[in-house]
Amino acid sequence: MENALPSSSVSSTLEPVLALLAYSLTKLETGFYQIPGSAVVARYVKSSHQNDPGRTILEVILIIFAIRTLLQSRTRSDRGGKHYIQFGDKEVDELVDEWTPEPLAQPLTEWEQKELASIPVIAGPNGPKPKLVSTGKTVTNLASYNFTGLAGNEHIKERAVDTLRKYGLGSCGPPGFYGTIDVHMDLEKDIAEFLGAEAAILYSQGYSTVSSVIPAFCKRGDIIVADRGVNYAIQKGIQLSRSTVRWFDHNDLRSLEDALQAVERDRKKRKGPLTRRFIITEGIFERDGEMVDLPKIIELKNKYKYRLILDESISFGTVGRTGRGLTELYNVPASQIDMLVGSVANGLCSSGGFCAGSTIVVEHQRINGTSFVFSASMPALLAVSGSEAITYLRNTPSTLSALQENIRALRAVLEKTEGIAILGHRASPIVHFSLRSVAPASLSPASAATPAGKESFDVDGEERILQEIVEDALANGVMLTRAKYLRKQEMFEPRPTIRIAMTSALTRKEVEKAAGVVKASIARVLSRRR
């Protein structure tokens, strides 16, 4: 066409515009990188786009929507209020009187009310022989986690009182701000030296310890291979991590190895990158008292290049010659475990929890462990109590021997009891037993595929029978408890059990007598059901 401009003329016309655009983009980039923290943002955007381009598009849309929402006037359609309904004072009062608020929670069922009313109330301090408010009688306590009998220890009590007078009660701040004092650092050092680890970090709540440790290291795209029988706190930590999860059958190391091999096969098939990978399990499982084969777990994690997160909330302070847990029992160096999580509340009769490991692992949690960052640190008197408890365990190994002797005495009586099945490892300080009338299916592969609330056993029926046993035993001077779970919230529903927590504070004769009471209660309740 005669009027068409030659391409060279168009290029010369756009050249200044393109040059100005390039100059502007260069200035914007230079100015952006002068902003503090801009490099972190840029690195995040690049890695996010590389791993998941769709996520980048979604985030851009969300940013645009947020800016639009902030700039938009919420009342622009009716600035004058012409269409608002006007009420008089009398009408307002009538509407308020007629309004009935929705209940904050569903009303308790008859069974829940009965269960709540049956909870015993103790007068005075807790211990191996507490006194009940309802009857004034002293009972044998087989319900509390007082494994080494340190609850009520007079020396620890005196040290706690002295610390209370020196430091006051609360810390009034998270550890990373002004909540850390010398006694917290002393307890961290004592735990690390006790376990033979490089360092340890202290958390103020036992439950939130492992649920903070897991998401501090496991992120989206990482691989977690976990036991089906882990406790609820671990389940929440796994959920918060948003990692890809593979479950293996409860305490089945053959199933674990199969899962590890399946993860590697999937990676090679997809030709995906080598991501961070973790094995998560418990030392002694809180749900049933089973004990993991620690040397074999370490062998598998080294073979398949995984990191190990081991929760020793029950085994720490209860097994091993001096209570150091599975590392002492199996003679395994603590350095072989990447993140060793334990409970200061259970094993040391204080409060909170800890994570021991390398210095890098510990320091990473000081800025990434959510509970450590956002929760107030534990009171100083409880930190001192924990340190004193460690000293006691070091100097009094006979306490652990007495605990194991009592466990054997208890199991010897219960194993002769008809109608129940004893669960767990023979060295576990918590002894679970379930009814034998229904085939066990709690943590098996079949139950894993069963939706919550669709178990093959009668949960409500068995819980009612077990509660009758608990109440009968309490009436005869022994305090027990059913294992409590958040039904329909657990990933894998466990079978109802009664959980007995053994303590070294009782003599062998007292344990045998209490076990005899439990045996008689079981026989009475089951005979009425026949």
Q: Is position 3 within any domain?
A: no
- For 229, 246, 254, 491, 511, the CA distances from 450, given in Å and listed in that order, are 15, 16, 22, 10, 39
Number of H-type helices and E-type strands within the chain: 20, 15
- The number of domains in the chain is 3
DSSP string, 141-169: E-SS--TTS-TT-HHHHHHHHHHHHHH-S
Last residue of a domain, one of 345, 378, 395: 395
Average pLDDT, the chain: 88
- Least confident piece of the model among 85-99, 293-307, 406-420, 428-442: 428-442
| pLDDT tens readout for residues 238-277 | 999 999 999 999 999 999 999 999 999 998 888 878 889 9
Q: Is position 94 within any domain?
A: no
Last residue of a domain, one of 395, 430, 452: 395
Reduce the secondary structure of 182-245 to three states and give it as a string: HHHHHHHHHHHHHHCCCEEEEECCCHHHHHHHHHHHCCCCCEEEEECCCCHHHHHHHHHHCCEE
Residue 446 has what pLDDT?
Answer: 36
**What would you report as the CA-atom Rg of the chain, rounded to the nearest whole angstrom?**
30
Q: Are 372 and 165 in contact (CB under 8 A)?
A: no
Q: Is position 498 within any domain?
A: yes
Average pLDDT (95-116) is 87
Query: Is the model's pLDDT at 211 over the cut of 60?
Result: yes
Q: Higher pLDDT residue, 214 or 78?
A: 214
| pLDDT tens readout for residues 235-247 | 999 999 999 999 9
Query: Is the model's pLDDT at 316 over the cut of 70?
Result: yes
Q: Is position 406 within any domain?
A: yes
Burial 285-312 (b: 16+ CB within 10 A, else e): bbbbbbbbebeebbebbeebebbbbbbb
Is the same domain home to 177 and 130?
no
Query: Is the model's pLDDT at 495 over the cut of 50?
Result: yes
CATH of the domain at 519: 3.90.1150.10
Query: Is the model's pLDDT at 345 over the cut of 80?
Result: yes
- Least confident piece of the model among 95-109, 413-427, 449-463, 513-527: 449-463
Read off the pLDDT band of 78 (50, 70, 90).
low
Is the same domain home to 351 and 457?
no
Is the same domain home to 459 and 472?
yes
Residue 307 has what pLDDT?
Answer: 96
Is the same domain home to 206 and 266?
yes
Query: Is the model's pLDDT at 447 over the cut of 70?
Result: no
Q: Is position 122 within any domain?
A: yes
| Percent of the chain whose predicted confidence (pLDDT) is above 70 | 91
Q: Is position 53 within any domain?
A: yes
Query: Is the model's pLDDT at 530 over the cut of 80?
Result: no
Average pLDDT (106-115) is 86
Is the same domain home to 122 and 256?
no
Is the same domain home to 439 and 525?
yes
Residue 214 has what pLDDT?
Answer: 96
Per the DSSP assignment, residues forming a β-bridge with 432 are 499
Query: Is the model's pLDDT at 101 over the cut of 70?
Result: yes
| pLDDT tens readout for residues 11-23 | 677 788 778 888 8
Q: How far apart are CA 213 and CA 499, in angstroms?
A: 27
Residue 354 has what pLDDT?
Answer: 96
Read off the pLDDT band of 3 (50, 70, 90).
low
Average pLDDT (45-64) is 76
Query: Is the model's pLDDT at 353 over the cut of 80?
Result: yes
Query: Is the model's pLDDT at 165 over the cut of 60?
Result: yes
Q: Is position 300 within any domain?
A: yes
Cα 299 to its chain centre, rounded Å, is: 25
Residue 282 has what pLDDT?
Answer: 96
Query: Is the model's pLDDT at 355 over the cut of 50?
Result: yes
Q: Which domain holds residue 24?
A: 15-59
| Percent of the chain whose predicted confidence (pLDDT) is above 90 | 64
Is the same domain home to 140 and 174?
no
Is the same domain home to 271 and 145?
no
Residue 75 has what pLDDT?
Answer: 53
Residue 1 has what pLDDT?
Answer: 45
| pLDDT tens readout for residues 370-419 | 999 999 999 999 999 999 999 999 999 999 999 999 999 999 999 999 99
CATH of the domain at 271: 3.40.640.10
Is the same domain home to 46 and 141?
no
Q: Is position 321 within any domain?
A: yes
Is the same domain home to 30 and 53?
yes
Is the same domain home to 455 and 381?
no
Is the same domain home to 303 and 379?
yes
Last residue of a domain, one of 373, 395, 417: 395
